[in-house]
Amino acid sequence: MTTPGSTPLRLNQVPASRGVLWMRQGFQVFLRKPFAFTGLLATVLVATMLLSLIPALGVLAMLVFLPTLTLVFMMATQLVLKGGTPMPVQLIVPLRADPLRRNMLLKLGAAYAVATLLIVVLSAWADGGAMGALESAIIGGTDPSAALDDPRLQYGLMLRMGLTALLSVPFWHAPALVWWGGQGVGQSLFSSTLACWRARGAFLVYGLAWAAVFTVMATLMALIFGLLGSRELLAVAAIPTGLIFSTAFYTSLYFTFVDSFSAAAAEAPPSDA
């Protein structure tokens, strides 16, 4: 099932060396419009905080929108490459699309939300509630040492991280495949999984490159503030630094997509204007 006016896409062979290039391209395009991109992510964070005030439904809404968020940043990156400037209104562009694509994105988000909730339930069962005990101790302001010493906590964390990483594979390209490729939910999930597998070397390098950059930056910041005798300012400086690096990561997602699928950078249908 495809959307009328969509662009046919074809899988590409992606060398492992592209992983570092994706990260570098993300920073390069971010530096073209740093305030616009950062403002876009800041708007998302504010909306997330507001939604978190709504019990249960707020968290569910955030999970449903998360796959579309990656698409929003891909669209913003494409816009900057064409000389434009992304604005916060970019967040609602996918919701104003033709009904077919909008419904596909909503179904994709619903599938992601259900899968995420299943991971949470499974992990909570596997760690015997150790993570819940830690969260309760932190929120309640009590001593979390007992929860931290629980050997099941580490197992639960590893299970959550592993399952979340696996879940990201089918959803990595899926929103963009729905939007630009006109694919249905099932087809986009399959195509994304296949593309990530074929480019697994590049994605491994991509992940290692980001991990190395974050590690080096964190080490340098700790060293600098330690030498200045202002370790208490480290947490303050970490907030804007984390925002910048997170935004650059989101802008790099577009390049992982256009390298994996030929004709992926073509214009979206006229209804997106």
pLDDT recorded at residue 213: 92
CA 267/CA 190 separation, integer angstroms: 23
Pairing of strands 261-262, 10-11: antiparallel
Which of 119, 43, 56 lies closest to 87, judged by CA? 43
How big is the CA angle at 18 (ends 162 and 167), to the nearest 5 degrees? 20
pLDDT recorded at residue 174: 96
Q: Under 8 Å CB-to-CB from 154, ≥6 apart: which residues?
A: none
pLDDT recorded at residue 61: 87
pLDDT recorded at residue 11: 84
Residue 170 CB: number of other CB atoms within 10 A?
A: 21
Tell me the pLDDT of the chain averaged across its residues.
Answer: 84
| Residue predicted with more confidence, 251 or 156 | 251
Which of 258, 199, 236 lies closest to 26, judged by CA? 258
Going by pLDDT thresholds of 50, 70 and 90, the confidence category of residue 236 is confident
Q: Say if pTM beats, i.e. exceeds, 0.95.
A: no
pLDDT digits 0-9 by tens, 56-88? 788 888 899 999 999 999 999 999 999 999 998
Q: What percent of the chain has pLDDT over 70?
A: 84
Which of 70, 72, 76 lies closest to 30, judged by CA? 76
pLDDT at 228 > cutoff 80 = no
Token readout for 48 is 């997330």
Q: State which of 45-49, 132-136, 206-210, 239-243 shows the largest mean pLDDT.
A: 206-210
pLDDT at 13 > cutoff 70 = yes
